[in-house]
């Protein structure tokens, strides 16, 4: 009984905090996985185009190369000068690095890393 009451109080507190969240973003959705509470929902049901079609297509080709055995998730790729030179959202790669394909894929998906995208695009 006490746990249920504590959980209810915590959920209500989070819901109150959610009402206080604001963003200039056109669309946003923040979800607390621990409690199952939606902390912020702003135009969450509106369909949006992908932010970068070239990154999505590069991921498609990377997964195809993995499926075909031309790349593996554990394979380490050397960072090219060209990939290192990308600005904007990056993984801060350096030409002295060798980065696992799996980490590059995460770098494309999570922070939409421009240099991770370029590195995967250059992979054989």
Sequence ranges of the domains in the chain: 2-42, 53-122
Tokens of 27: 């669309």
Instruction: Please give the pLDDT value at position 18.
Output: 47
Banded model confidence at residue 72, pLDDT cuts 50, 70, 90 = very high
* pLDDT for 15: 54
What is the pTM assigned to this prediction?
0.55
Distance CA 73, CA 100 (A): 7
Whole-number Å distance between alpha carbons of 117 and 120: 5
Average pLDDT of the chain is 79
pLDDT band of 66, cuts 50, 70, 90: very high
At 84-102, the pLDDT tens digits run: 887 777 777 888 989 999 9
% of the chain with per-residue pLDDT over 70: 77
Residue 84 has a pLDDT of: 80
Q: What is the largest CA-CA distance in the chain?
A: 61
Q: How many CA atoms lie within 13 A of 28 on its CB side?
A: 10
Residue 5: enclosing H or E segment and its boundaries? Answer: helix 2-20
């Amino acid at each position: 009984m006490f746990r249920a009451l504590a959980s209810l109080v915590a959920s209500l507190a989070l819901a109150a905090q959610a009402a206080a969240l604001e963003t200039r973003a056109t669309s946003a959705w923040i979800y607390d996985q621990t409690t199952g509470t939606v902390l912020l929902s702003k135009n969450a049901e509106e369909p949006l185009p992908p932010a970068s079609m070239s990154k999505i297509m590069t991921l498609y080709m990377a997964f195809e190369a993995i499926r075909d055995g031309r790349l593996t998730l554990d394979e380490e790729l050397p960072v090219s000068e060209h990939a290192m030179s990308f600005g904007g959202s990056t993984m801060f790669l350096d030409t002295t690095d060798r980065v696992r394909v799996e980490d590059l894929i995460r770098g494309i998906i999570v922070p939409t890393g421009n240099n991770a995208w370029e590195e995967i695009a250059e992979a054989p």
